Structure 1
């Protein structure tokens, strides 16, 4: 089955094969243009996530007065949702209800949810978790271009001469695209790469230049670039005059207060604001000035900011001034975070949009959409964006919410506020494929939805490429597709217009709406002229670049066979659909006058500043092998093997001042909440900044929700939250002991102060810590491991003076569980111990090694996983480097296969080469 990966916005094609014994084999689709057969480790491990463990298989309901969830029929559950929403609307009006949806929904799901809320309920209170990752990009595109347009395609990465990666750890967050850049640079070393990021991430291993700017200063940096280019005469005057508006004002604001003696460009001023070495900044400015084919890739580090939209526009301004847009190998390029963030934008899944790139504040657009739908009403003003939506729920203005395919109690900023809001809400409905999430603790109705491998529909990736997700598994239990669930509720609420029999029917309506009233211009396959009275604006008129005319009327067979295609999609003379690689090549923009807009971007500081109580700046983001809140990736032993638990990465000087030590636990506190994390000094942090990953939640850790500490400030234009700059304090979390356990069954965690669950292949592992000393080690271990038999084979090692304890439970020669405790963070190899669980019986040396705390023979311990694709550990790699004299990542790959699949571990291999060489030199 040819389908599409459900993770990031790269949109990789997947070939999934189901064997006779039910096993699923995953491979990259060599024919898919997005990845050409490559998959990252998350995509490669998809087969490990399709099991039914933890799945929500049947509808469940909770009594109004509280209590436990109980099984319900679909009829009961759907009636409860429909009647509950109808009652709230009748009593309090349509704005008292809301939907909160997800960039992991398919386009067909998104479409019907948006149609129901805006066209039938009559409110725009439908927002999406994509608000948290790319809404600043949407707002920036619309301000500059008049429409939400990503003008480039992935091929442009190979055509550029300079790629600037801003706020994007591409190596970890979009690894398949990063490998395309790596390959392009290897083939053409003249291609230069600049990384602009407060952290030194894995992406920097490829960089010719790294600018570790201070968090929140991107606008200063790109305003400086705009001024530098203008002062050096690097501007396309013809393009500016003929195709843009607002250049003089944008340049004036960029220069404001930054001119030195006699009006000269003041490099020191911009460098000081960004806390970047002036010569490093000048090197970047010069590279940009002398290179025509420049692509500026930006992602969450730009978008997730209280100045996110201005950051986007400051980047676009530089491309407009130089005319570097609409041509191969150049332009601004937003890498989206979710698999269908773009599809959600197409159907108006944000609270301030209408479907098909039409606008809520445009009466003509509202009339077009309502007329096409034949709906009884149409929302006429923007709804509540994500943060303000949950604030409105807590305030009692929104009384019913339907959450689809997302987990806001983990992912939202100030997520304890989300908890309070849902506790107060009269009706909380959640449709999801997983039963136990942090959000479901507050739900009154749970509706079982389908997951990846079961869904049928389309997604759109970062380069506007529409691809099919096709089902290879039957729907489990009573699970239903999201679009069908929404339609079932809509019909029960008495609304017509939701009689879709198949996702193709939804897609066809979506395609027809994209062409509805969409006046063709030259770029749309028309004659290039405008009819009298047509203002041509995507934002204010009828013509929109987004157009799926070529996909109308595919029929069921055509939909099932649909090949990946980039919008806008027109039709060849022979009737076959034709996609569009690049946009804006005609230099016609979607504003009424056809011109792009420079946006004056006055720099401003983050809303919340550091102070003596919270002296450090918190940055958040992903790790390489996990995804969002781990509902899917947390099930995979392969993906758990790289980064096992939440951590706080710090500069050693900040750790010393905070009184915390590497490997120990620390409390991370802000004005909004606190969490626990393991202290790490990875070498990538600047002084004054710390980093915590976003993934861990209350299902897999005792206290690791970073959303609880993130501030709720948002960009005033886009509503996107400030995930990259929260004032924070780091303090020691004093523990009497540290340890871990591996077992075939779940351990008993009563009384454990700190724990994190890590899924293994034949076991489950818990990292543990306690604040109170353990009295009787033996009794404690038996309770923890669930060993009731007093005659059980439970060899122990105790050193009370050192605070060391180890116990192993063996049954019929096979290891059942083990626990390792010490006064300091326990260093025994988890990888070696996990490997013992795959054996039918332990030999004498292995039993002895368990009590010693390490294998008796070298080579048995592979060390922490570096290459998750092939399970190659750090110890194995370092040994090969030393023993074989390896000097390049390519040689490591040839020797151990590490890095030969997705390549996301290649930056780490290069780092190990340098570290091993340094260690060898010191030893010699």
Structure 2
């Protein structure tokens, strides 16, 4: 069977420097981007001033997208068992793997695992193939790890997965509550809007977070709630709303059901302020301030994100938030409402087309009527009649041998799922594994795959995404895919054709898929299903390509989308009323034990994204946090014998990692924090996913990644050092290390229990540096360096000593970037210092303009005593603004007496 390769449309793929309006590839803010291809495979990136989500603003990750377009790391050709093959053979192998498994074990023995970074059109055809034509609902997504509790909470309360508000509510609110969200780092463009509202209208900000994040540092009030007790706080707020006369009686009576039961339940959970304060580990004064502010401020937006969702009681936490907004009638009106801040660029779009195992397309479920309706629309011969396995359950079924064939697209469950080590082993047990990927550097996945398919990446893909405020935007291509890479939707349709379903998957373009998706949303929709984009079902290819950002609902006959919902009721339950939901008694899913006396909280850092397959390619994004770490409170550091800057072993029942210790009072005693970004592809012995337990929310199936019982102990490292290299180096797994991209190469930080001299000898052999004439050995100082120069350029520099040397790293980075090393400079290569070093290198604070802590401190000593003054002097903080809280903290430190 010959493959019909999609022909690139010359009108949408730009080789000359013509700007293309597209959408950012990172978080759910959905910022508009203007990309201008440079004709060399790269592009310049700017914010799209016409896009309503960001109005021209970009965070540093979005601004650095042009640095992530290099193809040196890309998968370029299909492979079978690691051997290059043709697309025909690869697609035939995927088809055979699925067909054989279905014939032997039935349709529930196969599964798809998707990603919130897929486009809506990719998601749609994957969902249609599995649920409509293979006959199994075993199709789930890494959004299950991100937003599933929000979906479940919305469906319980509203009858459908609906975000009722819009970003303009942040501009118009008088109180913004951020709970479980480090907004300044994870959604910087929205944080800028909040900061501007504070300046313009005096908006107050409350942050509810066990950690004192940079967002919390900037808040008017920080409630360092005890881990897992968020629902207690909002239960008490519901009681206070009732007792303080703040219930919107008319709204509750006309538009809701269950208020009295939810209130009685809240009184059981939090009978008094004193009880709530004690359970939440808050002072009564701080709790009272929050309760009074919320009740006295009609325009209040409560934003929530992963700190709420990633919990074994995440759905209840979401409903606790929705309960208070419904009770006060503060929903769907300007400046007020509950607002879910989505983590991934198209988590919402995936939810719209049934990307979750417990949903069908167009926000339909698995009731007999809905299964029949979708089946008739698709003319599907074998509709799945029941929900499929959710992500964690899906991979547990793989462990048990119940699922035998799997296709993974655009994500790496071997790194991101709980019990990541066990998941890596489970993948190797499959009879058949297909992987559609962009990067060759995804650990634990490609090695286990039967077939690997090279996918198109951001900048090459064509389709739509939906952001956190229900706004559909276009992702447009401005680069041609390298090698033989192909879009994910095309790969799925080709397999569907080979399985005998060609007529149902005869899509010539993403526009054709989108039209069918829009038509299904309107099919037999009498208004009960709020997700309705029937007004877009007849778009021509040209109109689809020119589609401007638009919010849904957008039913047929309407010219504009819908900004806000539910101010006048109209919920998706059969009676049109919302439900206030009673909560289970709040508790930790797994409390600390004598063996594991701490609680591990996992999360993100400012300049990295997921497992760094994209952000890890950008030199400026690597500087802010350049190696894995664990944050520990000073009391716990003393308790467990840990030193700031030293190393520690962090263990749970699931695994162990070794991380550098950061001692900070931003952590609560009894809790530690480690970021998720480093895996075996960019580090070693630092895969935080291997620590996370598989406890999940009973309603949403979302894993608890925030309160994992853990232990910590010192991990002795005699030697530390770095390797500066012009090319990516394979390194031994026994070496604790982390890669950092720099201009024209990489810096690998490492540490080891071995003595510096012995370690240097081992690594010199590994890197074949004995043949180089450049060596320096100083046993008295335990300092050893070797380097290789080829054609007057530095190829490799290895430095080993008793501790990390920032000056030497800065000098090696400078040397790598030099096109030619002259004789005078050659004498200093192994010196570890530039001849004229200037300011000592320090931690980068502003990635947009490359400003480090030392320069900010120097400017402060020179009289720049405010964030604005630092911005005027150094530009730091004047672009994306995500570094402004850190600048403020540095300035406060400079004002302290010595």
- Scaled to the shorter chain, the TM-score interval is over 0.9
Equivalent of 2:126 in 105, 113, 130: 113
Distance (Å, rounded) in 1 between the aligned partners of 2:155 and 2:791: 67
Equivalent of 1:887 in 861, 865, 870: 865
Which residue number in structure 1 is paired with residue 339 of structure 2?
333
Q: Is the contact made by 1:880 and 1:886 (CA closer than 8 Å) also made in structure 2?
A: yes
Instruction: Quote the offset at 1:851 in angstroms.
Output: 4.9
Distance (Å, rounded) in 1 between the aligned partners of 2:262 and 2:761: 71
Instruction: Quote the offset at 1:665 in angstroms.
Output: 1.6
Could you list the per-position Cα deviations for residues 559-588 of structure 1 after superposition, in whole angstroms to 9, with x for gaps in the alignment?
00000000011356xxx7311111113211
Q: Secondary structure at the match of 2:303?
A: strand
Q: Is the contact made by 2:720 and 2:756 (CA closer than 8 Å) also made in structure 1?
A: no
Could you list the per-position Cα deviations for residues 684-719 of structure 1 after superposition, in whole angstroms to 9, with x for gaps in the alignment?
111111100011111111111111000100000000
Q: Is the contact made by 1:16 and 1:25 (CA closer than 8 Å) also made in structure 2?
A: yes
Distance (Å, rounded) in 2 between the aligned partners of 1:440 and 1:455: 22
Q: How does 1:797-812 map to 2 (within 5 A)?
A: 798=778, 800-810=779-789
Does 1:472 pair with 2:478?
A: yes
Q: Secondary structure at the match of 1:677?
A: strand
Distance (Å, rounded) in 2 between the aligned partners of 1:422 and 1:876: 48
Equivalent of 2:398 in 393, 409, 426: 393
Which residue number in structure 1 is paired with residue 14 of structure 2?
none
Instruction: Quote the offset at 1:658 in angstroms.
Output: 1.6
Which residue number in structure 1 is paired with residue 539 of structure 2?
554
Equivalent of 1:372 in 370, 377, 387: 377
Q: Secondary structure at the match of 1:254?
A: helix
Instruction: Quote the offset at 1:814 in angstroms.
Output: 4.5
Q: Is the contact made by 1:42 and 1:639 (CA closer than 8 Å) also made in structure 2?
A: yes
Distance (Å, rounded) in 1 between the aligned partners of 2:754 and 2:171: 57
Instruction: Quote the offset at 1:789 in angstroms.
Output: 3.4
Which residue number in structure 1 is paired with residue 721 of structure 2?
739
Q: Is the contact made by 2:807 and 2:841 (CA closer than 8 Å) also made in structure 1?
A: no
Could you list the per-position Cα deviations for residues 149-205 of structure 1 after superposition, in whole angstroms to 9, with x for gaps in the alignment?
0000001001001000000000111111111111111122x2100000000111123
Pair 1:778–1:10, CA change in 2 (3 A): closer
Distance (Å, rounded) in 2 between the aligned partners of 1:668 and 1:886: 41
Pair 1:377–1:814, CA change in 2 (3 A): closer
Distance (Å, rounded) in 1 between the aligned partners of 2:758 and 2:627: 28
Structure 1: 5+ residue stretches without partners? 63-68, 260-265, 521-542
Farther off after superposition, 107-116 or 577-586: 577-586
Which residue number in structure 2 is paired with residue 538 of structure 1?
none
Equivalent of 1:50 in 48, 63, 69: 69
Which residue number in structure 1 is paired with residue 7 of structure 2?
none
Could you list the per-position Cα deviations for residues 301-347 of structure 1 after superposition, in whole angstroms to 9, with x for gaps in the alignment?
00000000000000011111111112111010000000000000100
TM-score (norm 1): 0.92
Q: How does 1:11-410 map to 2 (within 5 A)?
A: 11-62=30-81, 69-188=82-201, 190-256=202-268, 258-259=270-271, 266-360=272-366, 362-410=367-415
Distance (Å, rounded) in 1 between the aligned partners of 2:824 and 2:237: 64
Instruction: Quote the offset at 1:849 in angstroms.
Output: 6.2
Q: Secondary structure at the match of 1:672?
A: coil
Q: Is the contact made by 2:117 and 2:347 (CA closer than 8 Å) also made in structure 1?
A: yes
Could you list the per-position Cα deviations for residues 492-537 of structure 1 after superposition, in whole angstroms to 9, with x for gaps in the alignment?
01113000001000000000000000014xxxxxxxxxxxxxxxxx
TM-score (norm 2): 0.95
Q: Is the contact made by 1:832 and 1:863 (CA closer than 8 Å) also made in structure 2?
A: no
Which residue number in structure 2 is paired with residue 912 of structure 1?
890
Distance (Å, rounded) in 1 between the aligned partners of 2:763 and 2:617: 26
Pair 1:161–1:478, CA change in 2 (3 A): same
Distance (Å, rounded) in 1 between the aligned partners of 2:54 and 2:826: 46
Which residue number in structure 2 is paired with residue 528 of structure 1?
none
Q: Secondary structure at the match of 1:7?
A: coil
Instruction: Quote the offset at 1:810 in angstroms.
Output: 4.7
Q: Secondary structure at the match of 1:77?
A: helix
Instruction: Quote the offset at 1:821 in angstroms.
Output: 2.3
Q: Is the contact made by 1:862 and 1:876 (CA closer than 8 Å) also made in structure 2?
A: no
Q: Secondary structure at the match of 1:219?
A: helix
Distance (Å, rounded) in 2 between the aligned partners of 1:627 and 1:401: 25
Q: Is the contact made by 1:244 and 1:597 (CA closer than 8 Å) also made in structure 2?
A: yes
Equivalent of 1:421 in 421, 426, 443: 426
Which residue number in structure 2 is paired with residue 534 of structure 1?
none
Q: How does 1:845-860 map to 2 (within 5 A)?
A: 851=830, 853-855=832-834, 857=836, 859-860=838-839
Q: Is the contact made by 1:748 and 1:785 (CA closer than 8 Å) also made in structure 2?
A: no
Distance (Å, rounded) in 2 between the aligned partners of 1:180 and 1:778: 50
How many residues align? The count is 877
Instruction: Quote the offset at 1:49 in angstroms.
Output: 1.1
Q: Is the contact made by 2:41 and 2:479 (CA closer than 8 Å) also made in structure 1?
A: no
Pair 1:847–1:275, CA change in 2 (3 A): farther
Q: Secondary structure at the match of 2:620?
A: helix
Which residue number in structure 2 is paired with residue 524 of structure 1?
none
Q: Secondary structure at the match of 2:362?
A: helix
Which residue number in structure 2 is paired with residue 512 of structure 1?
519
Which residue number in structure 2 is paired with residue 796 of structure 1?
776
Q: How does 1:681-760 map to 2 (within 5 A)?
A: 681-747=663-729, 749-750=731-732, 753-760=735-742
Q: Is the contact made by 2:522 and 2:555 (CA closer than 8 Å) also made in structure 1?
A: no
Equivalent of 1:4 in 9, 20, 23: 23
Which residue number in structure 2 is paired with residue 633 of structure 1?
615
Distance (Å, rounded) in 2 between the aligned partners of 1:807 and 1:119: 61
Q: Is the contact made by 1:254 and 1:602 (CA closer than 8 Å) also made in structure 2?
A: no
Distance (Å, rounded) in 1 between the aligned partners of 2:394 and 2:469: 30
Q: Is the contact made by 2:179 and 2:303 (CA closer than 8 Å) also made in structure 1?
A: yes
Farther off after superposition, 735-744 or 610-619: 735-744
Q: Secondary structure at the match of 2:453?
A: strand
Instruction: Quote the offset at 1:408 in angstroms.
Output: 0.4
Equivalent of 1:563 in 548, 557, 569: 548
Does 1:766 pair with 2:745?
A: no
Which residue number in structure 1 is paired with residue 848 of structure 2?
869
Farther off after superposition, 430-439 or 109-118: 430-439
Instruction: Quote the offset at 1:828 in angstroms.
Output: 3.4
Pair 1:660–1:91, CA change in 2 (3 A): same
Distance (Å, rounded) in 2 between the aligned partners of 1:221 and 1:161: 20
Q: Secondary structure at the match of 1:578?
A: coil
Q: Is the contact made by 2:684 and 2:733 (CA closer than 8 Å) also made in structure 1?
A: no
Distance (Å, rounded) in 2 between the aligned partners of 1:441 and 1:781: 25
Q: Is the contact made by 2:756 and 2:802 (CA closer than 8 Å) also made in structure 1?
A: no
Farther off after superposition, 137-146 or 40-49: 40-49
Instruction: Quote the offset at 1:779 in angstroms.
Output: 4.8
Distance (Å, rounded) in 1 between the aligned partners of 2:363 and 2:881: 36
Pair 1:458–1:709, CA change in 2 (3 A): same
Q: Secondary structure at the match of 2:100?
A: helix
Which residue number in structure 1 is paired with residue 878 of structure 2?
900
Distance (Å, rounded) in 2 between the aligned partners of 1:811 and 1:593: 75
Instruction: Quote the offset at 1:754 in angstroms.
Output: 1.1
Distance (Å, rounded) in 1 between the aligned partners of 2:327 and 2:741: 51
Instruction: Quote the offset at 1:805 in angstroms.
Output: 2.8
Distance (Å, rounded) in 2 between the aligned partners of 1:801 and 1:842: 29
Q: Is the contact made by 2:91 and 2:494 (CA closer than 8 Å) also made in structure 1?
A: yes
Distance (Å, rounded) in 2 between the aligned partners of 1:599 and 1:145: 11
Distance (Å, rounded) in 2 between the aligned partners of 1:561 and 1:832: 48
Q: Secondary structure at the match of 2:547?
A: coil
Distance (Å, rounded) in 1 between the aligned partners of 2:819 and 2:130: 56
- CA RMSD between the two structures: 1.8
Distance (Å, rounded) in 2 between the aligned partners of 1:840 and 1:618: 45
Distance (Å, rounded) in 2 between the aligned partners of 1:171 and 1:762: 30
Could you list the per-position Cα deviations for residues 838-880 of structure 1 after superposition, in whole angstroms to 9, with x for gaps in the alignment?
2345578866766554445463544221111111111112111
Farther off after superposition, 708-717 or 839-848: 839-848
Distance (Å, rounded) in 1 between the aligned partners of 2:401 and 2:763: 48
Instruction: Quote the offset at 1:635 in angstroms.
Output: 1.3
